[in-house]
Amino acid sequence: MLTYISNIIFIALLSTAVYFFTKNIKKIIRNINLGQDQDLTDNKVQRWGIMARVAMGQSKMITRPVAGIMHLFVYVGFILINIEVLEIIIDGILGTHRILSFMGGFYNFLIGFFEVLALLVLVGVIVFWARRNVVKLKRFTATEMKGWAVTDANNILYIEIVLMTAVLMMNGADHALQLANYPHYTQAGSFPISSVLFGWLQGMNPTTLMVIERACWWLHIIGIFLFLNYLPISKHLHILLAFPNVWYSNLAAKGKFKNNPDITREVNLMLNPSATIDPNAAPPKFGAKDVNDLSWIQLLNAYSCTECGRCTSNCPANQTGKLLSPRKIMMDTRDRMEEVGKNIDTKGVDFNDGKALVGNYITAEELWACTSCNACVESCPINIDPLSIIMDLRQYLVLEKSEAPQSLNSMFTNIENNGAPWQYSQADRLKWANE
């Protein structure tokens, strides 16, 4: 009877977790689709290659060896240990225990391998925690890394510590029960780590061991369900979005900027006075004022950002004390997108809160500090492109608001009057050669 009740409770928890996770992911997809269409389905072979190298192979993570190796532990461990989670889910639904143990020696290898990975994940997480909270690396203590940004990062580390400790302690109690020939706990699995870390469990009362094993089993799987539903509100959503984000990378050469089609059309009209325009066409919009003016891939970038700060730590403007932080640009874009999404949920799709990404979240001073060097793009481990957002927001300021810095306005005037950025006439442009 208890087994049936346990199965019903497990299925109810699983269904609830999947329902809320699906609901929240649908909202995130809806928010990403607030952006403008952009076709990034060309060169599929190249895209698969980049995804294999950058997302799966972690090629840009290992440029910083300590963080790269620790992240590799956590990344590989997270992916492979989920195979054991699959077994736990099947056991929870069917009321079985270690249902995959029929694989015999291969199963023993898998459980032993998962235990080694769990230990490596623990090591990696502890190193990450120390880097943030003890060493306090500069890129983790920047202005934007306050409040929720710090809490969120530590929450994930604590959750992973609990999950890995629970699975190892569960295995340790399971192993002790197997050695005691306790009913229902048949010999299955290899336990090279838990038998050492939790060897003190051996020799305990079998009833106590069963309580410990079942408590850790439930703690681990409930923790997985909670973690699943924590992801949509966390920077660790990149666990799910990193792969598609890398696949849709910008394949153009660094430094190549796209032409604005509206400006191209205006120039063509100037060069061809006989051309006609549609009098009913909506007036063109230049640049981006808010998140719905950005492209969907830029919004996907914002959701994929894990706030590691490599972009900001490599930004020459930030290093020289300027206000710009590429990481903050991505965080602000995500926060604004979330705000717009919540407004849609509560007040309807046509609601206008009077706010915008430019001004309310990102200041002109931040945007104009950018040197457009692409250092942030080059350093991002998952090919996020903060520069594209910066350039679109700048374009809005210049072409829609006429709010460029005075130095740029002077250059614009010189180009218009003299055909060059310098303040002398075209007739005098080659006088330097006469000398």
Banded model confidence at residue 61, pLDDT cuts 50, 70, 90: confident
In tens, the pLDDT along 392-418 reads 999 999 988 888 888 888 888 888 887
Residues contacting 122, CB < 8 A, separation 6+? 160, 161, 164, 165
Nearest to 61 by CA among 237, 251, 314, 308: 308
pLDDT digits (tens, 9 = 90+) for 19-39: 999 999 999 999 999 999 988
Is a pLDDT exceeding 90 seen at residue 202? Answer: no
Q: Is the pLDDT of residue 2 over 70?
A: no
Q: Show the tokens assigned to 269.
A: 């009209």
Q: Grade residue 380 by pLDDT with cuts at 50, 70 and 90.
A: very high
Contact 391, 282 (CB under 8 A): no
Q: Residue 373 is encoded by which pair of tokens? A: 């060097």
pLDDT at 185 over 80: no
- In the predicted model, is pLDDT for residue 315 greater than 90? yes
Global confidence as pTM? 0.88
pLDDT of residue 394: 94
The mean pLDDT value for 285-292 works out to 89
Instruction: Indicate if the alpha-carbon torsion angle 336, 341, 346, 348 is positive or negative.
Output: positive
Of 68-72, 219-223, 226-230, least confident by mean pLDDT is 68-72
- The pLDDT of 326-349, averaged and rounded, is 94
CA atoms within 13 A on the CB side of 143: 11
Looking at residue 3, its pLDDT comes to: 63
Q: DSSP for 211-250, please give it.
A: HHHHHHHHHHHHHHHHHHHHGGGSGGGHHHHHHHHHHT--
Confidence at residue 283, expressed as pLDDT on a 0 to 100 scale: 73
Percent of the chain with pLDDT over 90: 46
- Kindly list the distances between the CA atom of residue 140 and the CA atoms of 160, 264, 423, in Å, as whole numbers in the listed order: 19, 42, 45
Distance between CA atoms of residues 100 and 256, nearest Å:
53
Mean pLDDT of 268-286: 75
Using alpha carbons, select from 343, 398, 405 the residue that is nearest to residue 369. Answer: 405
The answer, yes or no, to whether residue 429 has pLDDT greater than 90, is: no
59-83 mean pLDDT: 83
Average pLDDT over residues 237-251: 92
Looking at this protein, which amino acid is placed at residue 395? Answer: Q
d(CA 305, CA 405) in angstroms, rounded, equals 30
- Rg over alpha carbons for the chain, rounded to the nearest Å, is 28
| Helical ranges in 33-144 per DSSP H | 44-50, 65-94, 105-133
CA angle 7, 11, 12 (to 5 degrees): 115
Q: Which secondary-structure segment (H or E) carries 344?
A: helix 326-347
Select from 168, 215, 210 the least CA-distant residue to 191.
Answer: 168
Alpha helices in 104-205 (DSSP H): 105-133, 148-179, 194-197
pLDDT at 1 over 60: no
Residue 155 banded pLDDT, cuts 50, 70, 90: very high
Q: Residue 285 burial (CB < 10 Å; 0-12/13-18/19+)? A: middle
- At the top level of CATH, the class of 261-274+284-425 is mainly alpha
Residue with tokens 């694989």: 103
pLDDT over 80 at 384, yes or no: yes
